[in-house]
A and B are shown apart, each in its own frame.
Chain A
């Protein structure tokens, strides 16, 4: 369960969150669309516990241990190899020692990084770094995934594999919140769709049978009317 109640937060005179409330249960994937500056990143940071809101509260069942986070930065150490980074984060999340190597190998294989496992992260390209970032976020098998523009830098094959992985995770009872400004990204994963502008949800509803074109049109209308 992930619950947000009356979240408000400002940066100076700019209101990033303006009374956002919603609840998600296991198996739900919320795809959050919004233009630049709509407050999507702030919302995800509040849900992750990185930013304390000025008002309202966010609760994640299972606490910080249950959260997997992908932000705008990789959170990886450049002088450690990809595998060492994964093992480091696995240790901090109390993944059993005997499990860490297997999980790292599995994720590296799935994300096409098996042959880069021993490469220091600072030598990876932008796209490979993003794959490593995804592996880092999944290494502790989080129940709640908070993803901020996770497709950035991925090539088509990696993006497709990541979508497949997210679909599996959603199907396995995880809660996923995916923020993006691109309606074509990840819409097929959504069980629920929200449009955020100027810190508010101007639309929050189950996706139902709506396709990308229909949602895109609704999104453009919502953004245009502010």
Chain B
């Protein structure tokens, strides 16, 4: 177990260093997030639907598509000079590789969300003052689930043609449960309701994380072995 975690950390740190140096995907995802929020802000009719009803869906749609950019990039990094072959030849376990990619993706998506959340508050003028901590917790919880599934699928499609198209097609159906849960909890929090009223949705998010992290960990080796 020690080796698995140590190797995972070595690879995840390398991924984060590469992203920090190139900043390609991070800048793209951040700009994408800002643009989508801007479009939604100016494209909606504030007199037709209350902001607090619409805003949670907009937030999660934005985060989901921004995350796709990160997930697409996770294994693209390894295709440069065919470094993935080096990882597969090396004595690391495939589980290390999954956890490395999962952690790096989760950090990456969290950074994009950290950039997107203030813009969301600014554009939609939603009251987050009293619920910021629970809201951040819910974002972290939901993000972990869809990054787990996304990491698995991005490994599956990386050697296919049109990988960038395949990933959303495969991934989005699996994201419906956590997205519904995340939108519901976010709506309740922004509506001033206590967390105790959304424990069912929180349980669903936590269960999704546990189930899909476990499944992805178990299935990942088969996806990267030839």
Residues of A within 8 A of B (CB): 48-52, 63-65, 67, 69, 71-80, 84, 88-89, 91-94, 121, 136
Please state if A69 and B86 are interface contacts (CB–CB under 8 Å).
yes
Enumerate chain A residues within 8 angstroms of B21, measured Cβ to Cβ.
Answer: 79
Of the candidates B3, B88, B91, which one forms a contact with A63 in the assembled complex, judged by CB atoms under 8 Å apart? B91
Given A49-B89, A63-B91, the answer on whether A92 and B7 have CB atoms closer than 8 Å is: yes
In residues 3-31 of chain B, which contact A (Cβ within 8 Å)?
3, 6-7, 10-11, 14, 17-18, 21-22
Please state if B81 and A77 are interface contacts (CB–CB under 8 Å).
yes
Please state if B81 and A65 are interface contacts (CB–CB under 8 Å).
no
Given A88-B14, A91-B10, the answer on whether A75 and B81 have CB atoms closer than 8 Å is: yes
Nearest A residue to B90 via CB reads A92
**Interchain Cβ contacts under 8 Å between A and B, 5 examples:** A50-B226, A65-B91, A74-B82, A75-B82, A94-B3
List the count of A-B residue pairs having beta carbons below 8 Å apart. Answer: 70
Please state if A92 and B89 are interface contacts (CB–CB under 8 Å).
no
Please state if B81 and A76 are interface contacts (CB–CB under 8 Å).
yes
Please state if B89 and A93 are interface contacts (CB–CB under 8 Å).
no
Please state if A77 and B80 are interface contacts (CB–CB under 8 Å).
yes
CA distance A224 to B108 in the complex (A): 56
B interface size (C-beta, 8 A):
25
Enumerate chain B residues within 8 angstroms of A92, measured Cβ to Cβ.
Answer: 7, 10-11, 87, 90-92
CA distance A49 to B18 in the complex (A): 27
Please state if B226 and A64 are interface contacts (CB–CB under 8 Å).
no
Please state if A77 and B83 are interface contacts (CB–CB under 8 Å).
yes
CA distance A97 to B24 in the complex (A): 31
Please state if B90 and A93 are interface contacts (CB–CB under 8 Å).
yes
Given A50-B88, A93-B90, the answer on whether A76 and B226 have CB atoms closer than 8 Å is: no
Q: What is the distance, in angstroms, from B155's C-beta to the closest C-beta of chain A? A: 16
Q: What is the distance, in angstroms, from B7's C-beta to the closest C-beta of chain A? A: 6
CA distance A58 to B66 in the complex (A): 44
Enumerate chain B residues within 8 angstroms of A89, measured Cβ to Cβ.
Answer: 86, 90
Please state if B92 and A52 are interface contacts (CB–CB under 8 Å).
no
Q: What is the distance, in angstroms, from A8's C-beta to the closest C-beta of chain B? A: 15
In residues 54-99 of chain B, which contact A (Cβ within 8 Å)?
77, 80-83, 85-92
Enumerate chain A residues within 8 angstroms of B7, measured Cβ to Cβ.
Answer: 91-92
A64, A72, A88, A92 — most chain B CB neighbours (10 Å) = A92
B160 interfacial contact with A, CB 8 Å: no
B47 interfacial contact with A, CB 8 Å: no
Closest 3 CB pairs of A and B: A75-B86, A73-B82, A65-B91
